[in-house]
């Protein structure tokens, strides 16, 4: 069971979709089935313990600490180890400015927090997750053979993976960026984790998780792989590319153990389900594809124009906790018009992208 000292108002955001773990629990070897069941059990217990309605919350007012462009950020990272137990935060193993430890999970978590901070600070002038200088904390070596990573509203938590299907969850930079972006979305829009607003929540994390990786690698939109979690598999291959594909939702995996990637890329294939909080990890493929199409049509570095347009839409006060895909699409249109003009290449690309996935 995932334990926390006191209940917290935030949701639990995990990188591993429950339907993927359920497929492993059905199709895997006895050991793999046990790993998946244990992870599902821990995640369910933690979700139940922390359950609240994000839709009932508005983004709470907070004091922003202004950071002038060109100045150095006050980045403060602390990495803990749970020593393969399920207690948080654990023991401090690396603090800001300390040398690398030689423990891959510790050092990848430290570097991943820094890479995510860098994108938001240097490109969007955002002062940490809450835009108010929030210190970044992460716990590694959480649980035994735990196949997941999550943001719990105050810190990152990483499992080591079972080592037969999944490696340590710090190995994928876009996963770290994905989970930390849940914190940004929570602060700015409090998107309800259900149905289309929940799928938008997941999509925002995939968008900026991918941008963190692209930014770190210096990749343009046409150079990026647009895969989420491609570095997690212990034995990657043609049937196991990643957890999700933003470029081609529904093609990330097709495997006897993992099952078939269920993500749709168009509204005509929208999945109506009560599972996965109304399909938040499934239907996020639709806005993911829209971002990929817009970024690719605009060209260059995806964080420059497309990323800025999506970021400004996230900050728009008109974005409500129960927002639909169409409402968010219109906000990205407004953002593109404001930043670049209604007749700009950027604005036309955004509108066309949403049309191509059937939202507009």
Beta carbons within 8 Å of 97's beta carbon, 6+ residues apart:
none
- Residue the block writes with tokens 């895909």: 325
Active-site annotation holder among 137, 141, 178, 179: 179
Active-site annotation holder among 10, 137, 182, 281: 281
Catalytic residue flag (residue 281): yes
CA–CA dist 224, 308 (Å, integer)? 17
Beta carbons within 8 Å of 114's beta carbon, 6+ residues apart:
75, 77
Residue 242 in contact with residue 172, Cβ under 8 Å? no
CA–CA dist 321, 324 (Å, integer)? 9
CA–CA dist 321, 54 (Å, integer)? 7
Which residues are known catalytic residues? 179, 281
């Amino acid at each position: 069971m995932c334990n926390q000292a006191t209940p917290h108002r935030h949701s639990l955001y995990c990188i591993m979709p429950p339907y993927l773990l359920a497929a492993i629990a059905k199709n895997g070897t006895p050991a793999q089935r046990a790993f998946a069941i244990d992870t599902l059990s821990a995640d369910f217990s933690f979700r139940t313990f922390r359950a609240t309605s994000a839709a009932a919350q508005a983004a709470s007012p907070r004091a922003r600490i202004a950071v002038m462009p060109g100045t150095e950020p006050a980045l403060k990272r602390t990495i803990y180890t749970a020593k393969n137990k399920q207690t948080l935060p654990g023991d401090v193993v690396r603090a800001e400015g300390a040398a690398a430890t030689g423990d891959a999970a510790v050092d990848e978590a430290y570097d991943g927090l820094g890479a995510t901070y860098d994108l938001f600070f240097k490109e969007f002038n955002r002062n940490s997750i809450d835009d108010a200088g929030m210190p970044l904390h992460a716990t590694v070596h959480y649980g035994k053979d735990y196949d997941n990573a999550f943001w719990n509203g105050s810190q990152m938590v990483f499992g080591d993976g079972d080592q037969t299907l999944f490696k340590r969850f710090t190995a994928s930079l876009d996963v770290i960026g994905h989970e930390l972006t849940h914190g940004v979305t929570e602060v700015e829009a409090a998107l309800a984790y259900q149905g289309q607003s929940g799928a938008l929540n997941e999509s925002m994390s995939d968008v900026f998780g991918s941008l963190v990786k692209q930014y770190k690698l210096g990749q343009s939109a046409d150079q990026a792989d647009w895969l989420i979690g491609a570095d997690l598999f212990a034995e990657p291959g043609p049937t196991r590319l990643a957890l999700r594909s933003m470029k081609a939702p529904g093609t990330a995996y097709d495997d006897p153990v993992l099952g078939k990637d269920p993500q749709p890329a168009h509204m005509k294939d929208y999945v109506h389900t009560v599972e996965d909080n109304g399909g938040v990890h499934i239907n996020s493929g639709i806005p993911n594809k829209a971002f990929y199409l817009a970024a690719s049509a605009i060209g260059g570095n995806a964080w420059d124009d497309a990323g800025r347009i999506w970021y400004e839409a996230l900050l728009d006060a008109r974005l409500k906790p129960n927002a639909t895909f169409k409402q968010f699409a219109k906000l990205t249109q407004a953002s593109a018009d404001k930043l670049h003009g209604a007749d700009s290449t950027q604005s036309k690309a955004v509108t066309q992208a949403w049309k191509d996935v059937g939202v507009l």
